[in-house]
Structure 1
Amino acid sequence: MGLREIKMERTRQLIADTAIALFSEQGFDATTIDQIAAAAEVGPRTVYRYYPTKEALVVGFTEDTLQAALEELRGLPEETPLPQALYQVVDSVRRTIEGDSERRRVVYQVINRTRSLHAELRGVNWRWRESLAEEIWRRAGGHTAEMVAALAAANIAAVVEIAIAEWARSEDSAALGLAIEQALELLRTGDVPIPVSPLAGPATV
């Protein structure tokens, strides 16, 4: 990365950090782009250059976290067993959040109490899930690969969402990793109920 790129990344991070601090102090809706620009000592145009909307200042943290996990999956050797490769996805999310836990907790709190951010975040999560399913499909093979990939991606997205919610409610620094492991174990053991049609009849042994 060149000097210009480093400077741009620092500016981008400064704007995001400043915005999150203001959102936490006075609320998302009450904070303006002009206030963010003034606090970060940049012009409003500079803020818009890096973040086209105010919502992007918040959901960008989530988008970066999820994208990093997807890129880690894409970078794994093709011969990596799929279950291990998929574990890397959720573990990447854990490592990113735990490496920046204080700020990520604030981001989660801002999102959680701001209704206007919910739809934006749903869009980010949906696009990530679709991209994840495509990569799983590419690796899985077989005539049911597309459906398997979609189900696997949905499970991963659910594990990440539920584990982060558990972590946000806890003050334990290890809560995220513990919640991820618990959720994965429940899926592995079959303790999570799966709908069965009454027309299927009783299970056979």
Structure 2
Amino acid sequence: MSLREKKKERTRLKILEAALELIDSHGFQDTTINQIASAIDLSPRTVLRYFPTKEDIIVSWVEEGMTIFLTCLHQRPIDEHAHLSLLACARELLQLYEKQAEFYLTIERVIASSSAISARKHEMSAELAKKVSQVLSERATSTKISLIALELYPAIIFSILRVVIRSWVASDGKRQLMKLFDNAIELISFKV
């Protein structure tokens, strides 16, 4: 990363941290871009250059999670069974959540508190599932996987992730995220 990119990333993180703190204390609806900008001595215009809307501040972290998942999937062995690759990538994503638990608990609470952000996250998840299915179909020549599995496996994994994260947030992070995930996986049988 160049010095300029590092500075931009630091500013982006400052905006997000300020936004999360304000949203946590005032609620999503009552927090404004002006308040966020003021909290970190930036102009509202600068904040809007990084994030065109308040919702974009939150969903930027959903995008980051999507990138982590896809990067992991591309790095998995090409001959690995699809469901094993998806499980490994889900675990990698959840490990990030566990490492930065307070941060992600706050983000997930904000998402749950806003139907607009929840809807955007759901759309983004559906888009990720399509991308994952595409990656799996490209790998299908080296592994035997049915066409239905190409769409079904990502849908199952993302549904499990939604339920597990929702349970984790409901427990205020007291329940272990990876244990919740492993318990959920035990309920599912993937056919090899």
Normalising by structure 2, what TM-score?
Answer: 0.90
Counterparts of 1:26 and 1:174, CA distance in 2:
26
Aligned-residue offset at 1:85: 1.5
Q: Distance in 2 between matches of 1:69 and 1:173?
A: 24
User: Is residue 5 of structure 1 aligned with residue 5 of structure 2?
Assistant: yes
Aligned pairs for 1:193-204 (under 5 A) are: none
Give the Cα separation in 2 of the matches to 1:107 and 1:55.
11
Q: Return closer, same or farther for 1:102/1:143 CA change in 2, 3 Å cut-off.
A: closer
Consecutive aligned runs of 4 or more in structure 1 exceeding 6 Å deviation: none
- The alpha-carbon distance between structure 1 residues 143 and 69, as it changes in their structure 2 partners (threshold 3 A), is closer
Native 8 Å contact 2:164 2:180 kept in 1: yes
Residues 24-173 of structure 1: pairs in structure 2 closer than 5 A: 24-141=24-141, 145-171=146-172
The percent of aligned pairs where both chains have the same amino acid is 28
Question: Displacement, 1:76?
Answer: 2.3
Query: Which of 1 and 2 has higher RCO (CA within 8 Å, sep 6+)?
Result: 2
* C-alpha separation in 2, matches of 1:144 and 1:94: 26
Moved more, 148-157 or 137-146: 137-146
User: Aligned in 2, Cα 1:7/1:156: closer, same or farther, shift over 3 Å?
Assistant: same
Say which one has the larger Rg: 1
CA distance in 2, matches of 1:154, 1:189: 13
Contact 1:137–1:148 at 8 Å: present in 2 too?
Answer: no
How far apart, CA to CA, are the structure 1 residues paired with 2:190 and 2:63? 31
Conserved in 2, the CA contact under 8 Å of 1:23 and 1:110?
Answer: yes
Instruction: Quote the Cα distance in structure 2 between the aligned partners of 1:88 and 1:161.
Output: 16
**Amino acid paired to 1:137:** S
Contact 2:83 2:190 in 1 (8 A): no
Please tell me whether the aligned partners of residues 69 and 88 of structure 1 are also in contact (alpha carbons under 8 angstroms).
Answer: no
| Cα distance change of structure 1 residues 173 and 70 upon mapping to structure 2, 3 Å threshold | farther
**Root mean square deviation, CA, Å:** 2.0
